[in-house]
A and B are shown apart, each in its own frame.
Chain A
Amino acid sequence: MIRFEQVSKIYTRGARPALDEVDVLIERGDFVFLVGASGSGKSTFLKLVLREERPTSGRIHIAGRDLGKMAAWRVPLLRREIGAVFQDFRLLPNKTVFQNVGFALQVIGKNKRFIETSVPEILDLVGLAGKEKRLPHELSGGEQQRVAIARAFVNRPPILLCDEPTGNLDPGTSVGIMRLLDRINRTGTTVVMATHDDEVVDQMRKRVIELRDGRVVRDQLMGVYGLENV
C-alpha cells in the first residue's frame, strides 16, 4: 500500500537529511505507529506520502502508483485516497459539524444527495450523532478531533494518515480516539499514525516504526513506544 525505497529528503542543501535512505513497506490494512523524537522525520514521512513534499532521492509507491512519475494534475486524485488528521484538528470555525464534514465532499464535486446520506453515516460512526449543528467551539477537544476524523474518512479512503492526533487531548479522551481509529482500521483501512504518545502506543500493541535522525532504527510488530519499556 505504501512503499518507500531508499527515500531521502534534504530540505536545505548541506543540512542533515530529514529522511535518510528509508525503506519501509506498509501493507493494506496495516496499523502502523510512527514514533521518534521531534525532528526525527515523522512529519516529513507523512508529507511525502501526501506528495506535499517530493523526495530528494528514492522512490515512493502509494497503492501501486509511483509518486515520482505522477503528473501534477493527478495529485488531487491521489489525495482523495488518503485521509489526513492533524494535531490541531483544522476545522473551519464558522461551519457546523455537518458542514465541516460535508465540505470535504463538496469540494471534490460530490452532489448534495450523496453528502446528505454519507455525512450522517460517518458522524454516527465517529459517535457524533445528534451534534451535526454544533460549531467547533461548542465541542470538546476529543469531539473536535472526531469531526476531523469524520472529515478525513467520509470519502472512505483506503489510507488514513494521522499526525499526532492525540497530541492535544487528555489521556482519557485519547483512548476514545484510538478506539475509533482501531475501528476504522478494522474496516480494512491502512492507518499510519505519527505520535509521541507512549501510553497510546504501548496499549495498542501495533506495528511500530521508530525514526531517529531520519533513519529507521526499529520496525517491530506488536511494538511499544520505547525499547526500554519492553
Chain B
Amino acid sequence: MRLRFVLSEVWQGLRRNTTMALSVIIVTLVSLAFVGAAILLQIQVGKLKDDWYDRVEVSIFLCPDSSLSPACDHGPVTAAQEDAIERVLTTGAIGEIVEHVDYESKEEAWQNLVERDPDGIFAQQLTANDMQPSFRVKLYDPEQFALVADATRDLSGVEEVMDQREVFGTLFQVLNRATLLAASLAIVMLVAAMLLITTTIRLSALSRRRETTIMRMVGSSKTLIQLPFMLEGVIAATTGAVLSIVGLWLGVRYLVQDWLTSSNLTWVDYIDQADVLRVAPWLLLVGFGLSAIASLVTLGKYTSA
C-alpha cells in the first residue's frame, strides 16, 4: 500500500513537472558525460603508458665519425670508452635499476633503418658510416631515467642520452590537459545539476504543499512525506546518468573503436566499451549521490514539521 502510494506520488510529480524533470535529466547527462570523458581519458593515458613504457628505452648515443656536438670533440667513440660505459650501466647502483643493455653498432643501426623503410630516402642515401652506435638501456622502472642520464651523460664517448618517453611527453600533456578541461567542465556542470535538482524538488514540494500539510497533520511519517520528492530527483538524475553512459558507450564504440582504429594509428591500444562499463557504476553513483544530497538539503526546509 505504502509502496504503491509512494510510486503513484512519484509518477504524478514527474508528470506534473515534466519540463523540470527533463532539464534535470539533460544537465546530469551532460555533466556526467564530462565526468566519464575525463575518467576515460585518464584510462587511455594509463593504457598508453603501460603499452609504450614497456617498450621505451633509454638510448645512449655514442659519438659518430663526425659530430657537431662539443661532447664529441675528441673524435668517434673508442672500444675502451664503450667498455667503460657498459661497465657503468651493468654494475653498482645503476646496474640494479637496469634490466638489460643492448649494444647497437653502426651497421646494426643501418640495417634496422633499411628494414624499417627499404625504399626510403635514408636507405638510399646513407651508409653504415653515417649512423652512430648506441646503447639501448631498458630500465625496470622507466621513471628512473634521470639516474641513468646523470651517470652516463658526462662519460667520454657519449654524445647524447635520450629518453624515448620525451617523444610521448607532448601527447600525454595534451591528454592530461584535455582531462583537466573535461574535469573542470564536469565540476561546473555538476554544480549546475545540483542547483537544478534542488530547485526542481523545491517546486515539486511547493506544488504539493496541500498534500504534505495534510500528511503532516494526520501523522504521516517524515519518510513517507519526503520519499516521493526524493525519488523524483533520484529517478531524474539516475536517468541522466544512464543516458550519459549510453552516450559514452556509443562514443567509444563509433568514434574510438571504429574511426580511430580504422585510421593509421592501429598499433595503439585504445579504450573500449568494457572500459565504459567499468566507469558506469561510478557515474551512476555520482548521479544518485548528487540527487540524494540535493534532496536532503532541500526537503528539510520544505516539508519539515
A: which residues have CB within 8 A of B? Answer: 50-52, 72-73, 75-82, 84, 90, 92-93, 103-104, 106-112, 151-152, 155
Contacts and interface: CB of A to CB of B under 8 A. Distances in A.
9 closest cross-chain pairs (CB), A and B: A79-B219, A80-B219, A107-B220, A104-B218, A76-B219, A107-B215, A76-B221, A111-B1, A84-B217
Interface string B216-250: 11111110110000000000000000000000000
B210 interface: yes
B219 A103 contact: no
Nearest to B221: A76
Contact of A79 (B1, B5, B210, B216): B216
Contacts of A90: 210, 213-214, 217
A152 B214 CA distance: 10
Contacts, number: 58
B6 to A, nearest CB: 10
Contacts of B217: 50, 79, 84, 90
A119 B220 CA distance: 18
A90 B211 CA distance: 9
Interface in B1-29: 1-2, 5
Contact of B218 (A52, A79, A92): A79
A73 B222 contact: yes
Nearest to A104: B218
Interface of B: 1-2, 5, 210-211, 213-222, 224-225, 305
Chain B at the A interface: mostly helix, strand, loop or mixed? helix
A142 B206 CA distance: 28
A13 to B, nearest CB: 22
Given A92-B211, A107-B5, A109-B1, A151 B305 contact: no
Contacts of B218: 79-80, 104, 107-108, 151-152, 155
9 contacts: A72-B305, A76-B216, A78-B219, A92-B211, A104-B214, A107-B218, A107-B225, A109-B2, A110-B1
Contacts of A76: 216, 219-222
Contacts of B222: 73, 76
Nearest to B220: A107
Nearest to B1: A111
Given A79-B218, A103-B211, 5 more contacts: A76-B222, A78-B219, A79-B217, A81-B219, A84-B217
A107 B213 CA distance: 12
A229 B59 CA distance: 112
Nearest to B211: A92
B242 to A, nearest CB: 31
B137 to A, nearest CB: 69
A103 B218 CA distance: 9
A144 to B, nearest CB: 14
A134 to B, nearest CB: 18
A123 B210 CA distance: 22
B17 to A, nearest CB: 16
Contacts of A151: 214, 218
B193 to A, nearest CB: 31
A103 B214 contact: yes
A111 B305 CA distance: 25
Central interface residue in A73, A75, A84, A106, by most chain B CB within 10 Å: A106
A111 B215 CA distance: 16
B1 A108 contact: no
A111 B5 CA distance: 11
A106 B216 contact: no
Nearest to B218: A104
Contacts of A79: 216-219
A80 B221 CA distance: 10
B217 to A, nearest CB: 5
Central interface residue in A75, A79, A107, by most chain B CB within 10 Å: A107
